[in-house]
A and B are shown apart, each in its own frame.
Chain A
């Protein structure tokens, strides 16, 4: 896998209509770390990820991965550059089989280690192995979520953007997913931006934490520090 990459978001203003959702957001995800992006509904967390992966245009500011500028690239170019985005729900192509969905991820990876990578995912997520020939439409919501995460990992990304990965998953699977992410950070130097409603769970695996409120960064600190800040927790994180 490639070396760890830093993801830098600098003064980004972006949104959908005339009112921007992000009002000059700056975030740095250090190479090989997990950064949790926290905040209430409507804070701009999902928009931030969609801006990084190119689905929402930046009006000003820029996004870079190491020294490469991602701003203004098309989503497919950003994906090929090594940014894998796991969107919240709906990331599965229901008309393709489970294995075909996974193969889409594999196509972004070097040819040599595709088979091994696929077998590795199947051994980790036996639900997917059991259903590999079935259409993805037959999977439950939780199974689809696993499929999308597994597919993103198969693409051998340098930066992984996870939008609410625990939504709809059983606690045991959530633990499995978080464990895998931690493992990828440690062994493969993956840089992760993790958006979560479940702030406590996110901070438990993250190295750093960023709190968004109404499109602004209101706090950025080490995860342990954020978790210990009682006032901030009560005000923005609700635990």
Chain B
């Protein structure tokens, strides 16, 4: 029982990180049908920027804000400079460009920051809570709670932005039907840039949240990217809510695999789930079928 609770709580906080990565992929995919393979690399890079701030004597929270802001900026810049020219070209062009970006970013990080593992501070304590003698595990630590709360808050803010603001309406219009959006005076290109910027911000958040566990090195986000991608695919790649739920499911499932099957299996299990979903439900488990019904 204690193990089950521990694994579930740990799964939730891990899952929220996959959810954040998945969300950042969805933000870009649904606007432009581009899968941003560089998303993990970008998050790694913004985490390095945070570490520089901390090394220079800045507080954790200053570093946190700067990382998120640089994610925003990085996303917008890369879209304008590198991805925009692939618009209207065969989809493979964008794939190659974002894979190229990933290699470039990871290479640059190696050159600038070196390739050794750097330890990375967490927001709060990573010691799990206890109820009497009943230990709840690291998934109940203040940092884990902060992880879940911050990703949920970011997702809710995005939902509010999309639902209730003019710019959110314009972004959705541009994502769903660029031609009609243009007809209604929407600057579709600007909305795409904004989508990448928000994706960069959410990705940077994921980087800040996961790096204390993985250490920081040029490839530190690679496996998280795969799991975030899996989360997004489970949710249908089109649906922000789907990415969150997909991330949670995946996080919990992988924690059970770690706890009950074998501690070296989760990455393999993650890939297996990705393959299974792509084989049997390529449109996602629930979200996109729900939108297609109506």
A residues whose Cβ falls under 8 Å from a Cβ of B: 53, 55, 74-77, 79-80, 85, 87, 90-96, 100, 103-105, 107-108, 135, 137-138, 151, 155
Q: Tell yes or no: B184 within 8 A of A by CB.
A: yes
- With contact pairs A76-B188, A135-B294 given, residues A100 and B169 touching in the complex (Cβ less than 8 Å): yes
Q: How far is the CA of A75 from the CA of B177 in the complex (A)?
A: 14
B residues whose Cβ falls under 8 Å from a Cβ of A: 166, 169-170, 172-173, 176-177, 179-188, 291, 294
A-B contact count (CB 8 A): 64
Q: How far is the CA of A18 from the CA of B177 in the complex (A)?
A: 28
Whether A91 pairs with B185 at a CB distance below 8 angstroms is no
Chain A residue numbers with a CB within 8 Å of B177 are 93-95
Q: How far is the CA of A74 from the CA of B291 in the complex (A)?
A: 32
| A76 contact from B166, B185, B291, Cβ within 8 A | B185
The 5 closest A-B pairs by CB, nearest first: A79-B185, A80-B185, A95-B176, A75-B182, A104-B184
23 A-B residue pairs with Cβ-Cβ distance under 8 Å, sorted by A, are A74-B182, A76-B185, A77-B185, A79-B182, A79-B183, A79-B184, A79-B185, A91-B180, A93-B177, A93-B180, A94-B177, A95-B176, A96-B169, A96-B172, A96-B173, A96-B176, A104-B181, A104-B184, A105-B184, A107-B184, A135-B294, A155-B184, A155-B185
The dominant DSSP class at the B interface is helix
* Nearest Cβ on chain B to A152's Cβ, whole angstroms: 9
* Nearest Cβ on chain A to B195's Cβ, whole angstroms: 15
Chain B residue numbers with a CB within 8 Å of A92 are 180
Q: How far is the CA of A79 from the CA of B182 in the complex (A)?
A: 8
* Nearest Cβ on chain B to A173's Cβ, whole angstroms: 21
Chain A residue numbers with a CB within 8 Å of B185 are 76-77, 79-80, 107-108, 155
Question: Smallest CB-CB separation from B291: which chain A residue?
Answer: A95
